[in-house]
Amino acid sequence: MKKNIIILGSTGSIGANTLNLIKKDYNKFRITLLSANKNYIKLIKQAKEFNVKDLIITDLKAFSLAKKKYKNFFNFYNDFEILNTKFKAKEIDYSMVSIIGLSGLFPTLKCIRISKNISIANKESLICAWRLISNDLKRFKTNFIPIDSEHFSIYSLIKNKLKNTIKKVYITASGGPFLKSSISKIHKATIKDALNHPNWKMGKKISIDSSTMMNKIFEVIEAKNIFDLDYSQISILIHPQSYLHAIVEFTNGTITFLVHESDMKIPIVNSLYLDEDFNYNSKKLNLNILNDLKLQKIDSNKFPLIKILKNLENKNSLYETVLVTINDYFVNKFLSNKISYRQLIQLISSNANNKDFLKFKKKKPNKPQDIVDLINYVHIKLDKLNI
């Protein structure tokens, strides 16, 4: 029997990779719905190739253009309400949610209700709304598989292990473009410098987050949430080759680690074939890298934002939404040439400790609107800085 699949954000890299993997073994899968924001041309091409009739396009202009041109061939929807009206509970075997930003939260919660298994490649939702996501995963008995390489690796290493047997978890960071740079050179970094990741090409936003190490702060928060750990149980190690993704130390004295090539298709394909035997044509073990891992601790003088982790509390709160919003706000200012790289670091750090924002450590998100309202509140506060 074919697996019924939904892919939200199918025109992005994660969604496109998921489709490419499905294409290699198409007899086992049936794509029932795809979604995109603006790129309706690519979405239509995917729909034709995989014989998908139901398409969600959230951008109103793109939705109107696509519907006008292709209304006789596809069913078009402009929002995600269709997920809970068209599909019954547990009718979908696997959902991939790869929508960027907190706009992915509402569809994530809707997909949980109808899916047996769900992979969420949406950092913001996992950071800001884990309390809501976790509650729904338990309520609807939906299995969650993390897709980010670090969290997929931890998931693989601790699967079927009891929580109290986990002593320490290490996630790795490449060090980004400034690993070998002096502090003075980092302060003078241009947009081009910050975007120049040594290992791979990514979107501008995530590339800047990688350069500041903010992406690793977010990944630690995700790991704490997903695996129900304390921050004291999680550490970051610099690993320039991006080959080793996670290390887990257990209370019985054993330490395990997981390596794979820097290819997001590996976590994706393992989530698609969860607990099944399959073959994936990956590269052979790279002994040259394994014999020269070059693991090291992060220099907090060079990457001062990493100090934010020391002030985070183990309980989920709305403060995580504050952090994400502050970072997004100032990264956008930097990419718009309105602040320098040095100011980017200083403004994120100072506002992360703003007393008007720290109070949200004591408040929990009870519904998605709480997060939306807080984002608006933080933006209003930051706009008053007149940067």
Q: Residue 65's domain is classified under what CATH number?
A: 3.40.50.720
Q: What per-residue confidence (pLDDT) applies to 102?
A: 87
Q: At what angle do helices 13-23 and 40-50 cross, to 10 degrees?
A: 20
State mean pLDDT over 258-286: 91
Domain boundary among 313, 330, 350: 313
Residues 168 and 96 in one domain: no
Contact in structure between 11 and 46 (CB atoms under 8 Å): yes
Q: Which residue stretches of the chain are H helix? A: 13-23, 40-50, 60-70, 82-86, 105-114, 123-128, 130-139, 149-158, 183-187, 191-195, 204-212, 214-226, 265-272, 287-290, 319-335, 341-352, 355-358, 368-383
Q: What per-residue confidence (pLDDT) applies to 227?
A: 97
Residues 179 and 250 in one domain: yes
The residue ranking higher by pLDDT, 387 or 300, is 300
Q: What string of DSSP letters covers 141-177?
A: T-EEEE-SHHHHHHHHHHTT--GGGEEEEEEEE--GG
Contact in structure between 148 and 225 (CB atoms under 8 Å): no
Q: What per-residue confidence (pLDDT) applies to 93?
A: 97
Q: What per-residue confidence (pLDDT) applies to 365?
A: 95
Q: Using the 8-state DSSP alphabet, how is residue 317 labeled?
A: -
pLDDT surpasses 90 at 26: no
Residues 373 and 295 in one domain: no
Domain boundary among 313, 347, 375: 313
Shortest CA distance to 173 belongs to which of 146, 197, 139?
197
pLDDT surpasses 80 at 253: yes
3-state secondary structure of 203: coil
Q: Name the percent of the chain lying above pLDDT 90.
A: 88
Domain of residue 350, residue span:
317-387
Residues 288 and 323 in one domain: no
Residues 6+ apart with CB under 8 A from 376: none
Strand partners for 244? 259
Q: What per-residue confidence (pLDDT) applies to 56?
A: 98
Q: Which two tokens stand for residue 115?
A: 């899916």
Tens-digit pLDDT profile for residues 5-21:
999 999 999 999 999 99
Residues 307 and 323 in one domain: no
State mean pLDDT over 182-202: 88
Residues 71 and 20 in one domain: yes
Residues 203 and 142 in one domain: no
Q: What is the pTM of this model?
A: 0.94
Residues 193 and 282 in one domain: yes
Count of domains for the chain: 3
Tens-digit pLDDT profile for residues 103-121:
899 999 999 999 999 999 9
State mean pLDDT over 218-228: 97
Strand order in 143-146's β-sheet? 75-77, 54-57, 29-36, 3-8, 92-97, 115-120, 143-146
Q: Using the 8-state DSSP alphabet, how is residue 257 labeled?
A: E
State mean pLDDT over 224-244: 96
**Could you tell me the CA-to-CA distances from 21 to 17, 32, 151, 269 in Å, in that order?**
6, 16, 20, 7
State mean pLDDT over 179-205: 89
Lowest average pLDDT, out of 19-28, 133-142, 249-258, goes to 19-28
Residues 141 and 209 in one domain: no
Residues 307 and 169 in one domain: yes
Q: What per-residue confidence (pLDDT) applies to 245?
A: 96
